[in-house]
Chain A
Amino acid sequence: DQQVKQNSPSLSVQEGRISILNCDYTNSMFDYFLWYKKYPAEGPTFLISISSIKDKNEDGRFTVFLNKSAKHLSLHIVPSQPGDSAVYFCAASQLSNDYKLSFGAGTTVTVRA
């Protein structure tokens, strides 16, 4: 039973435009959320995180929004660049044991020139 869901397997966006990736979770005990980026044949690399005491966290071109009542988070990438083409994983955990992550299935982002 997947507790973290990314319902869009792929996203294609033009360079310079905004990419919006969505993620839903079912476990109300989750209070810490992360986004990871993965290139082929490499391990996932940390992108940005947010705890449930916030509804927004920004880091350069990347912003994560959290809607606790809807159990929904999103990642905005503005502007999108060709190097952003990768698989993006949403992950969730409880801060009390945040070494255990539950992952979504991933969204493949392709940035078109």
Chain B
Amino acid sequence: NAGVTQTPKFQVLKTGQSMTLQCAQDMNHEYMSWYRQDPGMGLRLIHYSVGAGITDQGEVPNGYNVSRSTTEDFPLRLLSAAPSQTSVYFCASSYSSISGNTIYFGEGSWLTVV
């Protein structure tokens, strides 16, 4: 998991609270993304970015916002936390390659919404 740092590692939120999960990478990767992992469902793409200033929605974007003001940082904001957002969140980064990207993941952020 070299180079992708997520904070916090663990967080408990009350329903309706907002918070930001931080993600930073030091590999100068152009692509960054956020996934959530739920039991029995694998990882699902929330939002992604193909470069600074450019973001787009993934498979499950509702309830989340992102921004990409620098190449290094890609924070994920929960606007009004709901119990359904209890999950493990993974930030990832990669670079463009004609032979196919290797996506590097952070260690995860465990979020519980009560």
Q: Closest CB-CB distance, A29 to chain B, in whole Å?
A: 15
Q: Closest CB-CB distance, B34 to chain A, in whole Å?
A: 12
Chain A residues within an 8 Å CB radius of B104:
46
CA distance A44 to B103 in the complex (A): 9
Among candidates A42, A43, A98, A102, residue contacting B100 with C-beta atoms closer than 8 Å: A98
Q: Does B84 interact with chain A (Cβ within 8 Å)?
A: no
Q: Is the CB of A46 within 8 A of B108?
A: no
Among candidates A2, A9, A42, A49, residue contacting B1 with C-beta atoms closer than 8 Å: A42
Give the residue name and chain of the B residue nearest to A51 (CB).
B100
Q: Closest CB-CB distance, A42 to chain B, in whole Å?
A: 6
| Contact-residue size bin, chain A (C-beta under 8 Å from the other chain) | 20 to 34
| Contact-residue size bin, chain B (C-beta under 8 Å from the other chain) | 20 to 34
Partner-contacting stretch, out of A64-72, A76-84, A103-111: A103-111
Given the known interface contacts A44-B43, A103-B44, A106-B42, the answer about A98 and B105 at a Cβ–Cβ threshold of 8 Å is: no
Interface residues of B in 83-103 (CB under 8 A from A): 90, 94, 99-103
Chain A residues within an 8 Å CB radius of B103:
34, 46, 99, 101
Given the known interface contacts A45-B105, A46-B103, the answer about A99 and B42 at a Cβ–Cβ threshold of 8 Å is: no
Q: Is the CB of A100 within 8 A of B45?
A: yes
CA distance A95 to B99 in the complex (A): 8
Q: Mark A32-53, 1 if CB is under 8 A from B, else 0.
A: 1010100001111110010100
Q: Is the CB of A89 within 8 A of B43?
A: yes
Not counting A43-B90, A44-B43, a sample of 4 additional A-B residue pairs whose C-beta atoms are within 8 angstroms of each other reads: A34-B103, A42-B1, A43-B4, A46-B102
